[in-house]
A and B are shown apart, each in its own frame.
Chain A
Amino acid sequence: MAWQWFHRLGSPRWFYQNTGAWLPWLALASVLLLVLGAVWGLGFAPQDSKQGNSYRIIYIHVPAAFLALAGYYIMAISGAIGLIWKMKLSYLVMRAAAPIGAVLTFISLLTGAVWGKPTWGTYWVWDARITSMLILLFLYIGVIALSRAFVREQVADKACAVLALVGTVNIPIIYKSVDWWFTLHQPATIKLTESSSIDASMFYPLLTMIIGFYCFYAWTLLLHTRNLVLQREWRTSWAQQALRGEPLAAGK
């Protein structure tokens, strides 16, 4: 069967056994990149000609916002795979992605507010970018709440997946809001198709932080998913073994 590899990937036991080895590497990469990017960006990158030092919050704000959006797709696509293939593991990835995404969205809103006060002159305005980002936070919180609102976890899985999928429409809206409408928030600095409007000396530390945030995201998502796998499978003998800290026999 052509789809067999896909189903094997969905086995909680296979996932738990094989992802354990990735964790230290992801941890190492994220710590190295985040420390390097933070020291480089906060200490060595030049000041901005207009904003002075306050622009440096970009090194947290932009990577957090990137991952908040990308993480939503991870959550929604995992939910879709769960709905279509009835894959337990996929639902667990979806559940794990929700709190991480909520925290990242909150960080980007908070850092944006802290930056907005000295730059714009206000912490908060109800423009399209900031409001749609707040809706993203509510969507994440909605998925978290829904995931705990049912006695039967299988029902909660489906409900969360549907909510996550319906919410995907918000992601392109957030991304394009600054181009479609007049907003107080400035348009994107990092552009995929043309050259970015940030000086190279400021861009490379930012890029380091973005890659670092991606590694950190993968690390926390794996950790959280592994916890959820154990929580849901704790009755099985392999999970009992894993919980006792014994090495697992190679299985499928």
Chain B
Amino acid sequence: MHPVRKQRLILVIVLVALSSAAVGFVTYAMRNNMNYFYAPSAFAAGEVPFGQHIRAGGCVVPGSVVRAGDTLDVRFAITDGDANVEVVFDKILPDLFAEGEAAVVTGTLQRDGTVRADQVLAKHDENYTPPEVAESMGANASCGNGAKT
């Protein structure tokens, strides 16, 4: 390879390496803000501020969903296998919200440790199965057995 071209090749590699390193350091410094939501164990560890708008994500604990008879109020717990967080919500839940499925809620952490949510999103997992296959595999829940969401 011609020495001039070799020099330019090295320059290109240095350009890519340095810009990647710069972006890498910035994202590493912001790593906590890069997360879209807090896991329930972050709540247990006291990392989540009270009264601020935050998001929590985890698996909806099977059997934890309690609906009020006369209003839309609903109460459920989400878990990451290590800790649980109670969530209260008073609007319509998304279609794919279900026990044993992952959900991401936006709201504020109350002093009693519950999250008062103003938005609940269903978090779909990466599995795609036809209904017959899902049935024959038995358990339809995608998380809740301590699986990380």
Interface flags for A195-238 (1: CB within 8 Å of B; 0: not) read 00111011000000000000000000000000000000000000
- On chain B, which size bracket covers the interface? 35 or more
Contacts A3-B1, A182-B36, A182-B39; A120 near B124 (Cβ below 8 A): yes
Residues 1 to 28 of chain B near chain A (Cβ within 8 Å): 1, 5, 8-9, 11-12, 15-16, 19-20, 23-24, 27
| Interchain nearest-CB distance for B115 vs A (Å) | 15
**In the bound complex, do residue A121 and residue B121 qualify as a contact, i.e. CB atoms below 8 Å apart?**
yes
Which residues of the partner chain B approach A170 to less than 8 Å between Cβ atoms?
23
> CB within 8 A of B130: which of A162, A168, A202?
A202
Assess whether B37 is interfacial by the CB under 8 Å rule. yes
Dominant secondary structure at the B interface: mixed
Which residues of A are found within 8 Å of B125, using beta-carbon distances?
A: 186, 197
Q: Please report which residues of chain B, range 22-44, place their CB below 8 angstroms from some CB of chain A when the two chains form the complex.
A: 23-24, 27, 31, 34-39
Judged by a CB distance under 8 angstroms, whether B75 is at the interface is no
Q: Tell me the dominant secondary structure on chain A's binding face.
A: loop
Q: Could you tell me if B128 and A119 are in contact, using CB atoms closer than 8 angstroms?
A: no
Q: Is A188 an interface residue (CB 8 A)?
A: yes
Q: In the complex, which residues of chain B have a beta carbon less than 8 angstroms from the beta carbon of A183?
A: 36
Minimum CB–CB distance from A125 to chain B (whole Å) comes to 7
Q: Interface readout for A149-168 with B: 1 if CB under 8 Å, 0 if not?
A: 00000000000001001101
Taken residue by residue from 36 to 62, chain B's Cβ proximity to chain A (1 for < 8 Å, 0 otherwise) reads as 111100000000000000000100000
Decide yes or no: A169 and B20 within 8 Å by CB, A119-B122, A120-B94, A120-B122 being known contacts.
yes
Chain B residue contacts of A47, Cβ below 8 A: 130-131
**Given that A84-B12, A199-B129 are known contacts, is A50 also in contact with B96, CB under 8 Å in the complex?**
yes
Contact-residue size bin, chain A (C-beta under 8 Å from the other chain):
35 or more
A20 at the interface (CB under 8 A from B): no
* Cβ of B70 under 8 Å from chain A: no
Please determine whether B129 and A188 come into contact, CB atoms closer than 8 angstroms. no
- Does A19 lie at the interface of the complex (its beta carbon under 8 Å from any beta carbon of B)? no
B68 close to chain A: CB less than 8 A: no
B120 within 8 A of A: yes
Bound CA–CA A120/B96 (angstroms): 7
Q: Which of these, B31, B126, B135, contacts A181 with CB under 8 Å?
A: B31
User: Which of A3, A80, A169 contacts B23 (CB under 8 A)?
Assistant: A169
Does the CB pair A184–B121 fall under 8 Å? yes
Interface residues of chain A, those whose CB is within 8 Å of chain B, are 3, 46-51, 55, 58, 80, 83-85, 118-122, 125-128, 162, 165-166, 168-170, 173, 180-184, 186-189, 197-199, 201-202
Question: What 8 A-B pairs are tightest by C-beta distance, nearest first?
Answer: A121-B94, A46-B130, A49-B134, A127-B36, A169-B20, A198-B128, A182-B35, A166-B19
| Pairs A–B under 8 Å by Cβ, sample size 7 | A48-B128, A58-B128, A83-B12, A120-B104, A165-B19, A182-B36, A184-B123
